[in-house]
Amino acid sequence: MLIQTKFRNSSARFADNDGILAFAQPSAVTLYEAGTTIYGQGDPTGQLYMVEFGTVRLCRVSADGRRQISAFYFAGEIFGLEADQQRHFYAESVDSAGIRVLRPSQGDKFNQSMFQVALKGLTRAQEHLMVLGRQNGTEKVAAFLLDVADRQGADRLVELSMQRCDIADYLGLSFETVSRILTKLKCAGTIRIPHVKQIELVDRGELEYLRG
Amino acid sequence: MLIQTKFRNSSARFADNDGILAFAQPSAVTLYEAGTTIYGQGDPTGQLYMVEFGTVRLCRVSADGRRQISAFYFAGEIFGLEADQQRHFYAESVDSAGIRVLRPSQGDKFNQSMFQVALKGLTRAQEHLMVLGRQNGTEKVAAFLLDVADRQGADRLVELSMQRCDIADYLGLSFETVSRILTKLKCAGTIRIPHVKQIELVDRGELEYLRG
DNA sequence: CGAATTATTGAAACATGTCAAGGATCGTGG
DNA sequence: CCACGATCCTTGACATGTTTCAATAATTCG
């Protein structure tokens, strides 16, 4: 369910990612209801997207139904870059999200910006490889909470726009394990869970220690 | 232990990656003995490298000694791209490897090539995320064997330049588990192991099925 | 308020890790 | 060329973390 909206400058409060806005031709913001497909696997590539508000997940599902979320994107972040003409992952809104399409305007500066987007994506993916490959459940969850907090600019209170299942598919765990670990951290006094979707970082130092 | 060598065109048989050779200023080939550091974590960035022959691993070690190998690079492949001024991973030769430095020559075309390198790296990292996050040991090893075979252009006989421990740290497993899985695949008739470092893909279809 | 979805918790099964021993391979020097 | 030590690989037994299945609780939405 898509609803075209009109306001065009609400992202001013976020970093103008890599100067890309100056050189792309940004469209109006499109509103995606929670769980809506933004683009599908196999779709043609060619345009980038910017999250205006809300959260986006980039996913892939294997033949037998296991899902891996390769990244989340929050307000102000850019996604949709692919190496060739076909999309290898599909993108969905996690919650109600506003997405702006960035159409490529031919030009050096836009390419420069695309390069920055690619580098940022590469860095994130490599960081995530480390988490998926060599960390246990507790370390994964700690790393996730700190990452979300940083990207939200949150000092103590993290707003989890995604559900446990999304976190699990991002971290390579079952959602039950994610739930158990959050409970364990809560009991240890490291976090508080005032609401299912709000995590308060009580002992940030401990989380950073756990993250490794 | 480094030894400067002189031959400059032995990579002609490999794909001229993204046309980068035409625009960079390639140096002579430097020979790195097995297990030699090519660059360290924290080193300044700025130049790319091309594998002339042999294998390179890109690694990171956590505080308590767990290592994650984020990528292997084989002959003809380019590595060394980073998002900022500091290297976040370190690069080592796996076996005896010849490495060519690609110094950035200012210019549009080189940047274009860097972009291609970034995209390729991003794609690989994302593929690997899927493997690390959602595949079990057998699937990981199957995916690894097929990936190496493809990149070596090998039909049946895969030459494993790296040891079990490297494979394990790449796949997020223990080296004992890697060994056990190889044995299991051997007993199942899916592969043969004529030599510790040679894997014959007897039933490629089965491996592809296992990979998912 | 009630139904549907999502989250938590428990118990048992399973895959993988850890520790330990023995075997294969490799490089070196006699 | 062989013998030796060092390194790497394999295999076994057991410990552990995570998954799975199942039941209950909390939350969301109409």
Nucleotides of strand C within 7 Å of the protein's CB atoms: 6-11, 15-20, 24-26
Query: How many Å apart are A137 CA and D18 C1'?
Result: 8
Question: Which residue ranges does chain A devote to CATH 2.60.120.10?
Answer: 2-125
Per-residue pLDDT band at B108 (split at 50, 70, 90): confident
Using CA atoms, how far apart are residues A107 and A37, in angstroms rounded to an integer? 30
For residue A162, give the 3-state DSSP assignment. Answer: coil
Tokens of A4: 């075209």
**Interchain contact, A83 vs B128, CB within 8 Å:** no
Query: How many Å apart are A88 CA and C27 C1'?
Result: 46
Interval B33-48: pLDDT, tens: 999 999 999 999 989 9
> What mean pLDDT is predicted for residues B165-178?
98
pLDDT (0 to 100) of residue B27 = 82
Question: Which residue ranges does chain A devote to CATH 1.10.10.10?
Answer: 135-211
Identify which of B81, B90, B80 has the alpha carbon closest to the alpha carbon of residue B42. Answer: B90
Calculate Rg over the CA atoms of chain A: 18
Cβ of A163 near strand C (distance < 7 A) = yes
Mean pLDDT is lowest, of A27-41, B5-19, B139-153, for: B5-19
Tally of CB atoms within 10 A around B146: 17
Tally of CB atoms within 10 A around B11: 21
pLDDT higher than threshold 70 for residue B16: no
Question: How many angstroms separate the first and last alpha carbons of chain B?
Answer: 42
**Interchain contact, B134 vs A68, CB within 8 Å:** yes
pLDDT (0 to 100) of residue A53 = 96
DSSP B105: P
φ, ψ of residue A84 in degrees (nearest 5) = -135, -155
Amino acid identity for residue A165 in this structure: C
Most B CBs within 10 Å, among A81, A88, A128, A134, to test the B interface: A134
For residue B4, give how far its alpha carbon lies from the nearest alpha carbon of chain A (Å): 31
For residue A53, give how far its alpha carbon lies from the nearest alpha carbon of chain B (Å): 24
Superfamily of domain A2-125: Jelly Rolls (2.60.120.10)
CATH classification code of A135-211: 1.10.10.10
Mean pLDDT is lowest, of A152-161, B2-11, B33-42, B114-123, for: B2-11
Cβ of B184 near strand C (distance < 7 A) = no
